[in-house]
Structure 1
Amino acid sequence: MLTTGLILILASLGLAQGLFLSLYLFTLKTGNRNAHFFLGLFLLGLTIRVGKSVLNYYVPLENWQNNIGISGILFASPSLWFYGKALFDKNSSLSGKDYLHYIPFILFLFLIPFVPRKGSFESLWNYGIVVFHLLSYLILSWSNLRKNKNIVSKSIMAWYRNILIGASLIWLHYVGNLFDFEMYYIRGPIFYSLLIYAFSYLFLNRHKFNLQKYSSSNLDKESSAKLFQRVKELFNSEEIYLDDNLTLNTVSEKLNVKSREISQAINENVQQNFYDFVNQYRIEKAQFLLRDCHYKKAKIATIAYDSGFGNVTSFNLAFKKKTGVTPSAFRKG
């Protein structure tokens, strides 16, 4: 069992991280700014809601303070849906009628002094309606994800799906709280904290999760797949990877396509950068040569150069990274 002090530390750190990420997203000037704004709103709403649970667990709050915390869900829910719409269409913007989705939050805010906090009506109002409100937007968001699965890149789809899974799990925790399962009351904030840490790692680790790198590109998912197929055909037919001076610009000139689009096609279809993609072909060539009887007595350096590597050190490092063994061990094995 977690001690009271440890629960407070974990939950508080998660809340601080959530608040930091919200502010970071609000001030981020690059990439899809609409998407950043709505994601920031979603995280801020969750942070307010979870913060209320943490405070109320340790310090009894006034009715109006509890209600302010609960109101966070009412603007987090539509923000989650709008985030998906902005993520899938970077040119999207809110119309006048879209702001109607925030009316429940505004009404709740004005009615805070009058919203009861005792008895069965409290459970219906503060949890039943609010939990149902979040469920409604989760359904809309999952539907939006399904509708766009063949349009946007795999990385964006996976990212939004993971956010929806996390939001859905938080919703389940509050369903438990609705039915008066006390253990869910504080486990929700703990789970939220873990979710925020995972989110922070993925979002800030831009080399692995780089949603907005190609935000200005007009290359859609289908065109990206077709271009990637052309790149593979070029590599297989002309074996251009055997040139140790091969660059992205070389491929760009051969295919008469912008180098940025080639990089995007490779990144979106196999989640590799250009040089990792090239080295994959070179290592496969090296594996073939290491098994070739005509190269049985050839030095490792010869294998490296004939596979397209410019030096033996780079070859050894790349080969071991890919296969888990050195070229010499591979040959013996």
Structure 2
Amino acid sequence: MLTHIGIEITFFGFGLCLLRAFESILSSKKIISMPVLFYVFNSFILLGTGLVALGLPLEYPSSIFLFPSSLLIIGPLNLFYYHYLLYPGQPVLYRTHLHLVPFFLCLFVEIFFQVQPFAFKHELLTAFFNGRDGHFLIVPFAFISLHVLVYMLIILKVFLLDTGFKKNQREFHFIGSIALVVFLIVAMLFFGFVFDIPGLFIGGSVLNVCVHIYIYLGLRIVPQFFNSLKMEIRKKRYEKSMLSGIDTAAIHEGLDNLMREDKLFLDCEISLSSVARRLSLTPHQLSEFLNEHKGSGFHDCINRYRIEEAQKLLMEHREASVTSICYRVGFNSKSSFNTAFKKITGKTPTEFRQR
């Protein structure tokens, strides 16, 4: 009876996450954004957990499509979502593509599995569900569980480095309690599934739903939570800033002169260290300046100057091809030029020229 109630709560959590994703789409007017991805993949996890608890994958193997992949992407998404909440509008400094490698590998394996004959899928899943602790699939299942835990530790580390909070502060309790519960959820799901304890397994899923409700209500009861967190982080970062004692206005002017007068951005081999050297800064200082005062990374900053130059050339030299202008302003491929141009202007180079 309790297991069935737990499954119902799990499906309620699935619906709640989808509603939160829809709410994020309406508020941001973007179909794909960090909050949307965060809630969509969390909904896949809750849906998959509920279906596994019902034993549905044995009869309908396609019902758990994206469940393993969602578990592998939720760790990186938690990290990116944390960055999104505390540093809105600033680019993610983590090497995004490396964090997503396990997800895409798993997604490839899932697609390969789903296109196999039904008999093969049914036989493999039946063997796994009936001999869980001794089946070879328990190894990737354990890796996925460990993957989630490692990312929770990374988020905790980033949080503490960002803030240096003492353990008696409210924000530490909020983040710390979520981290502890996530560890408990992963343990309950893993051991509940491996040792075939339905109550433990579905209990972990119910706890997962409770975390989402806790965060949802908590941020509405204490809406200033992230504002106070941002203020504390700014204070902490200022204390350890590498720009202390440096005239940032002079850096801004010097950088602008290098780009607009010397047009350093035309060099396709331009690098952070070469520009920093011209400004008498270290690469770390220039990187911090760009992130703190320009709200972008080095390459995004350079591309903005390149696209600005390209816009002038497209209008002043209509006889010149888009490709020639692409290389003239410092890009080394037309595809990267088109991508950067559309990202900054909202139009392709051809559309911009035809306006």
The TM tier, using the shorter chain, reads 0.5 to 0.7
SS in 2 for 1:121: coil
Question: Partner of 2:81 in structure 1?
Answer: 83
Could you list the per-position Cα deviations for residues 16-50 of structure 1 after superposition, in whole angstroms to 9, with x for gaps in the alignment?
A: 112212332344349xx9xx954543343232112
Is 2:153 the counterpart of 1:139? Answer: yes
Give percent identity, aligned residues only: 15
Count of matched residue pairs: 216
Q: Structure 1's 159 and 217: CA in aligned 2 closer, same or farther, altered over 3 A?
A: same
Q: Distance in 1 between matches of 2:162 and 2:143?
A: 29
Is 2:39 the counterpart of 1:23? Answer: no
Is 2:206 the counterpart of 1:190? Answer: yes
Is 2:58 the counterpart of 1:58? Answer: no
Q: Distance in 2 between matches of 1:27 and 1:158?
A: 31
The alpha-carbon deviation at position 131 of structure 1 amounts to 0.8
Structure 1 residue ranges without an equivalent (≥5): 225-333
Question: Partner of 1:233 in structure 2?
Answer: none
- Calculate the TM-score normalised by the size of structure 1: 0.54
The alpha-carbon deviation at position 105 of structure 1 amounts to 1.4
The alpha-carbon deviation at position 140 of structure 1 amounts to 1.0
Q: Distance in 1 between matches of 2:191 and 2:92?
A: 34
- Answer yes or no: is the 8 Å Cα contact 1:22–1:43 preserved in 2: yes
Question: Partner of 1:248 in structure 2?
Answer: none
Could you list the per-position Cα deviations for residues 74-94 of structure 1 after superposition, in whole angstroms to 9, with x for gaps in the alignment?
A: 111101112233344345313
Q: Distance in 1 between matches of 2:230 and 2:160?
A: 23
Could you list the per-position Cα deviations for residues 89-129 of structure 1 after superposition, in whole angstroms to 9, with x for gaps in the alignment?
A: 3453136931221122122112114455444122222x112
Q: Distance in 1 between matches of 2:101 and 2:233?
A: 37
Bigger Cα Rg: 1
Instruction: Map 1:1-333 onto structure 2 (within 5 A).
Output: 2=2, 4=4, 6-29=5-28, 37-58=33-54, 60-61=56-57, 62-90=60-88, 92-94=90-92, 97-115=95-113, 117=125, 118-119=127-128, 120-125=135-140, 127-150=141-164, 157-177=172-192, 179-182=194-197, 183-205=199-221, 208-213=222-227, 220-221=234-235
Q: Distance in 2 between matches of 1:64 and 1:214?
A: 45
Q: Structure 1's 217 and 199: CA in aligned 2 closer, same or farther, altered over 3 A?
A: closer
Q: Distance in 1 between matches of 2:84 and 2:172?
A: 13
- Answer yes or no: is the 8 Å Cα contact 1:44–1:72 preserved in 2: no
Could you list the per-position Cα deviations for residues 238-268 of structure 1 after superposition, in whole angstroms to 9, with x for gaps in the alignment?
A: xxxxxxxxxxxxxxxxxxxxxxxxxxxxxxx
- Answer yes or no: is the 8 Å Cα contact 2:163–2:233 preserved in 1: no
Q: Distance in 2 between matches of 1:50 and 1:69?
A: 9
Question: Partner of 2:293 in structure 1?
Answer: none
Q: Distance in 2 between matches of 1:108 and 1:167?
A: 22
Q: Structure 1's 40 and 168: CA in aligned 2 closer, same or farther, altered over 3 A?
A: farther
- Answer yes or no: is the 8 Å Cα contact 1:81–1:137 preserved in 2: yes
The alpha-carbon deviation at position 54 of structure 1 amounts to 0.8
- Answer yes or no: is the 8 Å Cα contact 1:84–1:160 preserved in 2: no
SS in 1 for 2:2: coil
| Root mean square deviation of aligned Cα | 3.7
SS in 2 for 1:93: coil
SS in 2 for 1:197: helix
The alpha-carbon deviation at position 187 of structure 1 amounts to 1.5
Q: Structure 1's 28 and 151: CA in aligned 2 closer, same or farther, altered over 3 A?
A: farther
